[in-house]
Amino acid sequence: MSGQQHPALAPVTEGSANTRADDRSSPRGPVPDPVTGGADRGRAANTLLGEGGSPKRPVPDPVTGGADRDSAANTRPGKGSSLKRPVSGPVTGGAVNGGPDRDGSRGRGIVDPATGRVLTRLPDTDAPGVADAVARADTAFRTVWADTSPARRAGLLRELAGLLREDRDHLAALERGNAGKPTARAGAEVDFAADVVDWFAAAARYPVGETHPAAPGLRTYTDRVPVGVCAAICPNNYPLLLAVWKIAAALAYGNTVVVKPAPETPLSVRRLVESAARVLPPGVLSAVYGGAETGRLLCEHADVAMVSFTGSTAAGREVARRCGDGLKPVSLELGGKSPVVVFRDADLDAAARAVVAGFTGNTGQMCVAGTRLIVDRAVHEEFVARVAELAGALRVGPPEDPRTDLGPLISRAAADRAAEAVKEAAERGARVILPPGRREVRHGPDGGFYVHPVIVDGAPFDTRAWREELFAPVLSVAAFDTDAQALDLAHDTAYGLSASVWTGDADRAEHFGRALRAGMVWVNTWGDTEETVSVSGMGQSGYGRELGIHAVEGYTRPRAVWVAHRPGR
């Protein structure tokens, strides 16, 4: 689907504000512990008001699957094999793909954020379990995977993409139950994940090297070689999708992977790894579970060659420090507090729809969420009113309800943090705009962790609402008078993940497109993301590349080779 926006990220179209939100993105927020990856964040994309609806087939129970697990789950089909049905069965604890299976009746409670109910329990992987998973991955790398031909790796990845599509409804149900995602959005994210795997299946066969002029009898070339065992530490806002971004790239380029999902949202990743065991050789893809301690064990393990982390900036610093002690390369996709600059000559209707999508998509739990609106003073009141009307029409409710636009936040702490930031801004003189008839930020049907979309207009620039990534549908607004002031306000942040500008002036659009300091810049659009385009952050939003052809740079290392055709020449 190169060259266009994925359906899960489709731009806002004309229609009622209650049309389903089919967004996707990745954001984060403060993390309760530094190495978990269980930050209130994630990454990538867009929630624009798109078509919604329930899936065509019955959605399995989000925990049990309602079917017996295939007894051949650990067999490896041959090239071109067809898998008749997805893996199903109860979710239990432990590492997968050859790792020990543990008693799922004990361990960390995995909570449904829509109700606060414990879905199941999953023990944290202890130090011997992490060591075992890494040892299996290292053995698989040295004995099987690194020497598997690119064509064969590509074929197995295509089979993995097929598994994702076969298991779409079940994976979507897990994302709905464990991460609180509305059903249509969850299904679109599974679709995008499968597209990402297909892209990296193709990329596995792309040429990556150069030949160089050399003396007679000497051949000189450079190539890229896999790094080895990669640890993928993932966030809770896009549990499956962001894990797949890392897994697919690492596997395509000949690495093996130990993935650690966020402690709050392990269920879809666990099912993915179980299913992948039917396609991939043992040890090529394993999962470990837990929080900060599990992440620390991965970062510090001598046989983990590279760490890819998505989460908060605070947690990213800790990951970088632990990896730095061993001179271990790390890719960091971290926080954001993205500006959206709107000029008076912009298409204000289109801009308003995009602003609403940008701060409410995935219930605001996106690293690229456009949570700082910087609007031309000449249209400030008019534009804020448009945004408030659209945001106020969105429906907050249970993820299984097809009318729902915004599901719950990931935790009670996340909802409390958002409410406290809004309260602080109000006490400091900001105007707080809630949906019609609402007086509180919190909204709690069935004990879930819900908040309403909130606009905070005129918050002082030292408040949390303006400065911190809240990972919630909270939009801060500031007015500007000049282009220079708009740019200064846009850059009034330590982050540099994404930015957007809306204007009808071509010269201004070109200028801001160049001047905005962010890894992703959208001009008169927002949230476009394709698996073919590499993305990264600036400043405190991290470094390293995700997606696209440049992902190869993180998962391989360059090597120079000289070959003498006449030894001892």
Task: Evaluate whether 432 touches 377 at the Cβ level (below 8 Å).
Answer: no
Three-state DSSP at 200 gives helix
Active site residue 333: yes
Angle, to 10 degrees, between the axis of helix 183-203 and the axis of helix 168-179?
120
Three-state DSSP at 327 gives coil
Write the CA distances from 510 to 307, 355, 366, 376, 384, integer angstroms. Answer: 36, 20, 26, 18, 25
Residue 108 has a CB neighbour count (10 Å cut-off) of: 18
Handedness of CA 84, 85, 86, 91 (dihedral sign): negative
Angle, to 10 degrees, between the axis of helix 506-515 and the axis of helix 483-490?
30
Cα maximum dimension of the chain: 86
198 φ, ψ (degrees, to nearest 5): -60, -40
Active site residue 189: no
Active site residue 367: yes
Catalytic residue among 159, 189, 264, 546: 546
Q: What is the DSSP letter of 406?
A: B
Beta strands 304-310 and 229-233: pairing type? Answer: parallel
* Tokens matching residue 408: 């719950």
Catalytic residue among 333, 469, 530, 531: 333
Catalytic residue among 175, 181, 189, 246: 246
Q: What SS3 string covers 411-448?
A: CHHHHHHHHHHHHHHHHCCCEEECCCCCCCCEECHHHC
Catalytic residue among 230, 234, 323, 367: 367
What ranges make up the beta strands (E) of 263-336? 285-287, 304-310, 330-333
* Tokens matching residue 512: 């801001």
Q: What is the DSSP letter of 395?
A: P
Active site residue 246: yes
Residues with catalytic annotation?
246, 333, 367, 546
